[in-house]
Amino acid sequence: MNQLVVENVTKRYANHTALDNVSLSVPDQSIYGLLGPNGAGKTTLIRIINQIIDANEGTILVNGEKLSPHHIALIGYLPEERGLYKKLKVGEQLIYLARLRGLSKSDALVRIKHWIEKFEIKDWWDKKIEDLSKGMAQKIQFISTVLHEPKLIILDEPFSGFDPVNANLIRDEILELREKGSTIIFSTHRMETVEELCDHIALINKSKKILEGAKKEVKAKYRTNTFIVEHKGDFSLEGEHYKHISHRNLDDGYLETQIRIKSSRNANQLIQDLVGATEIHGFKEKIPSMNEIFIQLVNGGSDE
Amino acid sequence: MNKIFLIIQREFLNRVQKKSFLIATILLPLIFPTIIAIMVYAAKEQEEGANSEVIHFVDESGLFNPEDIKRFELKRFNGNIEDAKTAFSNSDDFGLLHIPKINLSHPSGVTLYTKINPSPNDINDLESKIESQIKEAKMIKFNIDQRILDSLKTDISIRSINLSKSGQEKSSDSKVLFGIGMIGGILIYIFIFVYGAQIMQGVIEEKTSKVVEVIVSSVRPFQLMLGKILGLASVGLLQFLIWIVLITSVSSIVLGYFGFDMPQQEMMDQMATQPGYNSDFMDVMQTVNEMPVFFIVSSFIFYFLGGYLLYGALFAAVGSAVDSPAEAQQFIFPITIPMLISYFALFTFILDNPHSTISIWLSIIPFTSPIAMMGRIGFGVPPIQLVASIVCLIGGFVFTTWVASRIYRIGILMHGSKVSYKVLVKWFMMKS
């Protein structure tokens, strides 16, 4: 079952098309990375899902239903540009934001209490946001995003502005929320986050979706049949079957060579050929990182 | 609907809980009367306590009677004008008045020499003094008896009564109506500006602190805008209510205090020397008593709210389009023009001539009607005009709110873009 389905969504502005026929399927309880360079249309898509702006064409389904105002209570949204009422006290602010999301005042109070105990920030209750540090304000905003226990949580660059300790804290909370049944959409440039947390990804470039799928499958798809060999002594297998991609000296006197298989040979056959040619100390397949896939696709797209 | 109420509540509490609200609400109605009282008191003290200045006079006509007027002591200078000028320039005195030999039927050539420019009041005092003395000289010349002269003095104040079709008589004092129109108009003018600026400021704050993106993911931009406008309107009404209560209670205390404290004898003297006093006062009281207070107060509230909603929406739209109050100036200016027009019209002709065609039109056009109609309301407005004005104002604020909301929904999410009128039109036309 998909928590969120985006079907053929197009959004046009006067001078440009921000989203061009984009379709996505976000599975239940997934952590879904929405990737793309700046200006690709991610924020536009997120705003459409949050009903801040309307799409020109296409439909959006939440929980299998057509997106409508009552879904606001099901969605939690942390915008990239963080912001709270500066003059409002932490407690009042959280209650207000929760009530706007459809929570009753008493429910809001109970849940806020739970969160401020969890984050050990009880004594912030009567402080104004303008008296808090940026990191502290971010924590409050994170709480306000998840306070109404949304089924679908949309986080735009969730880790920016957090120090490593708090970033870990937030990461653990995200994983816990997923365990409890929420679906999380990440919009980010930080590929290490994607590698670590996401199980599904979509890549949007120049208003179009150019890639979508489970992270594992995407990575498998972009395997280049390249292997990293650590060895002692020079050798060459260049020819009909193999191509040397790179070659470098390692610190401890070993050498590292990357070899790509050009023909239909497999890894075992490569090892057999290597055994005759050099002394092998290490052998593994080179799996492309999300970063490499991202750069390859985005740059490739710009040539067309 | 529920969410609009939440926003109204939040905006209301935000403002009312601030110290500045408390100070403005409680101190303002006390500060103004206090300042006026202090100024009146100081002026009176000065008038009474000031050393009267000396004006020397050279009277070649022989008509002028050296009687002191107000703050001036008049001293006759015996000698010709040239000597007087020399003597005057060496003295510290205020002025030198030269009355040449004058032709009674065409008196001219009276001159006042001074070292600093005399105020118009001083000149008026001197002029009326000389005028009255010349008048007396003329009377004597024409052999008119002093007793006849005295009995010629009359003091008339016209009491105007509106005769309605049913034959009821209603007395009206145009000065009271003038005052009501003026105060009502000024209050609405100030309220719209002060609260309009607050709406704009609030919108800019939400926009620059970026909190608006979170809010509009929970409510429609229109709900946020309307909630803010209505929230501030309720603050304004509350403030207005507190002021009415404060002013009535303070002024009744003050009046009671003075009324009680004023020595009976003095009061009697005052009435005796001012024959018109009693009936004037009675007229004012009668007009106030007979005035449809409920009608005037409810019209004030309607035009206050209507004008506020009409302009408030525009202020909200301006706030949404800009990133700082400084940037807002260029858009504020055209909004204020109709306000300024109606404000000046109020003083230049609406109050003097409330039934003229232009006054009628200004009180019907929704952008000027809140102030213009307040100027006319006390003088009696034909029902058809009142209805037209009310309908136009309601239509007017529905229209501006609609226009403003179309700009607002786009503007609040736009950052750092240079905004011109062309851009605003583009936003307005944009499909949501």
Buried residues in A98-116 as b, exposed as e (16+ CB within 10 A): bbbbebeeeebeebbeebb
Residue A277 CB coordination number (10 Å): 15
Q: Is B70 on the interface with A (CB under 8 A)?
A: no
Q: Which residue of B has its CA nearest to A55?
A: B432
Coil, strand or helix at A160: coil
Listed range (A247-261, B199-213, B243-257, B376-390) with the worst mean pLDDT: B243-257
pLDDT per position as a tens digit, A62-105: 988 999 888 988 999 999 888 899 889 999 999 999 999 989 99
Q: Quick one: average pLDDT of B355-381? A: 89
Mutation target to probe the B interface, by most B beta carbons within 10 A, among A100, A130, A141 is A100
pLDDT of B263: 45
Radius of gyration of chain A (CA): 24
The DSSP letter of residue B154 is -
Longest distance between any two alpha carbons in chain B, whole Å: 94
Share of chain B above pLDDT 90, in %: 26
**CATH top-level class for A2-220?**
alpha beta
Of B40-54, B143-157, B249-263, B364-378, minimum mean pLDDT range:
B249-263
Interface contact A75, partner B, CB < 8 A: yes
Q: In chain B, what residues touch A75 (CB-CB under 8 Å)?
A: 217
What is the token pair recorded at B232? 């501030």
Nearest to A39 by CA among A289, A283, A302: A302
Whether pLDDT at B277 is above 70 = no
User: What value does the mean pLDDT of chain B take?
Assistant: 81
Q: What is the pLDDT of residue B24?
A: 81
Q: Which two tokens stand for residue A241?
A: 């079957």
Is 70 exceeded by the pLDDT of residue B266?
no
Burial (0-12, 13-18, 19+ Cβ within 10 Å), B265:
exposed
Tell me if chain B has a CB within 8 Å of the CB of A51: yes
Mean predicted confidence (pLDDT) in B249-276: 55
State whether residue B71 sits within 8 Å of chain A by CB.
no
Q: Which of chain A's residues have a Cβ under 8 Å away from the Cβ of B413?
A: 47, 52-53
Better-predicted residue by pLDDT, B71 or B27: B27
pLDDT of residue B389: 94
Return the closest-CA partner of residue A91 out of A140, A135, A145: A140
Residue B216, chain A, CB below 8 Å: the answer is yes
| Residue B44 touches partner A, C-beta closer than 8 Å | no
Q: Does the pLDDT of residue B67 top 90, yes or no?
A: no
b or e along B83-122 (b: 16 or more beta carbons within 10 Å of the residue's beta carbon)?
A: ebbeebeeeebbbbbbbeebeeeebeebebebeeebeeeb
Domain residue ranges in chain A: 2-220, 224-286
pLDDT tens digit sequence for B180-215? 888 888 889 988 998 999 999 999 999 988 899 999
Q: What is the pLDDT of residue B267?
A: 47
CA-nearest residue to A15 within chain B is B426
Q: What is the pLDDT of residue B417?
A: 75
Most confident of A252-261, B73-82, B306-315: B306-315
Per-position DSSP letters for B357-423, written without gaps between them? HHHHHHTTSTTTHHHHHHHHHTT---HHHHHHHHHHHHHHHHHHHHHHHHHHHHHTT--S----HHH
- Measured CA to CA in angstroms, residue B381 lies from A7, A175, B387, B393 at distances of 61, 70, 10, 16
**B214 CB within 8 Å of a chain A CB:** yes
- Contact A53/B215, CB-based, under 8 Å? no
Whether residue A277 lies within 8 A of chain B, CB to CB, comes out as no
Higher pLDDT, B280 or B253: B253
- pLDDT confidence bin for B163, thresholds 50/70/90: low
The interface pTM score, or ipTM, of the predicted complex is: 0.81
Tell me the pLDDT tens digit for each residue of B1-25: 588 999 999 999 988 888 888 888 8
Asked if A97 lies within 8 A of B218 by C-beta distance, the reply is yes
Tell me what pLDDT residue B49 has.
59
* B147 has pLDDT over 80: no
- Please state the rounded mean pLDDT for residues A181-208: 88
Task: With cut-offs at 50, 70 and 90, classify the pLDDT of residue B290.
Answer: low
Q: Say what the pLDDT of residue A175 is.
A: 92
Contact yes or no for A14 and B10 at CB 8 A: no
DSSP secondary structure string for all residues of B158-211: PPEEEE-TT--EEEE-HHHHHHHHHHHHHHHHHHHHHHHHHHHHHHHHHHHTTH
CATH: 3.40.190.10, 3.60.15.30, 3.30.43.10, 3.30.830.10. Which one for B52-152? Answer: 3.40.190.10
Instruction: Single out the residue of A45, A47, A6, A11 nearest to residue A23, CA to CA.
Output: A6
Whether residue B30 is predicted with pLDDT greater than 80 in this model: the reply is no
Mutate to test the interface with A, among B3, B6, B213 (most CBs of A within 10 A): B213
Which of B114-118, B168-172, B183-187 ranks highest by mean pLDDT?
B183-187
Convert A39-77 into a string of H (helix), E (strand) and C (coil). CCCHHHHHHHHCCCCCCCEEEEEECCEECCHHHHHHEEE
B80-109: average pLDDT: 80
Entry field: residues in chain A = 304
pLDDT recorded at residue A4: 92
| Spatial contact of B315 and B199, defined as CB atoms under 8 Å apart | yes
Residue B98 pLDDT exceeds 50: yes
Residue B386: which pLDDT band, with cuts at 50, 70 and 90?
Answer: very high
Measured between beta carbons, the chain B residues lying within 8 angstroms of A84 are 209, 211, 214
The domain limits of chain B are: 52-152, 184-251+292-432
Distance from CA of A83 to the nearest CA of B (A): 4
Judge: B209–A84 Cβ closer than 8 Å, yes or no.
yes
Is the pLDDT score of B179 beyond 60? Answer: yes
Task: Read off φ and ψ for residue B137, nearest 5 degrees.
Answer: -60, -40
Mean local confidence (pLDDT), B249-265: 60
> Considering only CA atoms, which of B353, B345, B406, B407 is closest in space to residue B371?
B345
If you average pLDDT over residues A168-178, what whole number do you get? 91
Higher pLDDT, A24 or B102: A24
More confident: B243 or B312: B312
Distance from the Cα of A115 to chain B's closest Cα (Å) equals 19
pLDDT of A215 over the 60 cut: yes
**Residue A302 confidence class, pLDDT cut points 50, 70, 90:** very low
Write down the pLDDT at residue A194. 85
Percent of chain A with pLDDT over 70: 99
**Percent of chain B topping pLDDT 70:** 82
**pLDDT band at B282; cut points 50, 70, 90:** low
